[in-house]
Amino acid sequence: MTILVTGGAGFIGSNFVLDWLANAGETVINLDALTYAGNLDNLATLVGDERHVFVHGSIGDFDLVSRLLAEHQPRAIVNFAAESHVDRSIHGPGDFIQTNIVGTFQLLEATRAYWGALTGEERENFRFLHVSTDEVYGSLAKDDPAFSETHRYEPNSPYSASKAASDHLVRAYHHTYGLPVLTTNCSNNYGPYHFPEKLIPLVIHNALAGQPLPIYGDGQQIRDWLYVKDHCSAIRRVLEAGRLGETYNVGGWNEKANLAVVDTLCAILDELQPRGDGLSYRAQVTFVKDRPGHDRRYAIDASKLERELGWKPAETFETGIRKTVCWYLDNQAWVNNVTSGSYRDWVGQQYEGKQ
């Protein structure tokens, strides 16, 4: 038995591959284009493991995907492959259109041809699980109810618009062609192997380096925070028992303002690795100009997933964030490897001059 995972060298994808092989043991064909956020160091513990087959390539390469499907005959595809950073989509939306929309289309076309040729139980049991984001739903006011699976799509950035388009394509391939699809829309993930451009790993990295901790606007943007390993367990459960054609929201039930998240990180760092001068890492907090179209609040109602499939997160924000800080403190070699010159150039472009 084999599954194909796309984007399996990225943050969420690599965590999923590691957890899958630890929990299920079923062979993984891992297809990743290794853009800036794809990192084979995430999978270093799998070197020599015959259950993990890495293939360098893009979901937009129809011929490559078709060959992999024919050769390995996977019983399922889990699609993580995506450009995923809002700030980068504002500066350069083209890559997001190509990967998230055109790439998903090519992947669906190759999958449709492969699934169409299957027969019997192999055809009946095949699944295509598409991993998406809560950002497709837009922004919430402070007192609005959380996003449910029936909430109207209102994407506000090139990133979220491209993910919304990919979600619609997946839905259409189910309703038009009968492709056995499942879709998950998750809230903000955090945890090990997170590329340090997103809030939590960026703050940890900058704090330890003595650099400013940049906070957009007033820091009161609210997100629902989901520990990445909880997300992985939810995906396994949806793949196992989700109803075909359905969407499942995956959230951590942890709404936190960005500034509160940074305060928590500083407090944990003050405890575990205090500054040499005795000051709190909060002294490094710097407010910068808000980004264009910044959504004010996201919140996920994950009750459908718990009601239908019995899933709920194992980690609270307090337990998950402490595990995350400890992981980064214990894995500074990994951090140093990914914080290359190109990454430093990006951080400079994004935050410097906006204070």
Residues labelled catalytic: 134-135, 159
CB 30 within 8 A of CB 52: yes
| Collapsed DSSP state (helix, strand, coil) of residue 189 | strand
Taking the C-alpha atoms of residue 265 and residue 112, their distance in angstroms, rounded to an integer, is 45
**304-319 b/e (C-beta count within 10 Å ≥ 16 → b):** bbeeebebebebebee
Q: Which distant-in-sequence residues (6+ apart) come within 8 Å of 109 by Cβ? A: 62
Question: CA nearest 203: which of 123, 261, 141, 243?
Answer: 261
> 164 is written with which tokens?
């919304």
Question: CA nearest 30: which of 52, 2, 11, 12?
Answer: 52
Specify the residue for token string 């997160």.
313
Strands (E), the chain: 2-6, 27-32, 52-56, 76-79, 127-133, 181-186, 188-190, 213-216, 222-227, 247-250, 255-257, 285-288
The β-bridge partners of 5 are 30, 78
Amino acid identity of 164? Answer: A
> 285 is written with which tokens?
């907090």
| Collapsed DSSP state (helix, strand, coil) of residue 148 | coil
Question: CA nearest 73: which of 134, 104, 118, 105?
Answer: 118
What is the CA angle 168-233-31, rounded to 5?
Answer: 60
Taking the C-alpha atoms of residue 199 and residue 294, their distance in angstroms, rounded to an integer, is 14
CB 160 within 8 A of CB 133: yes
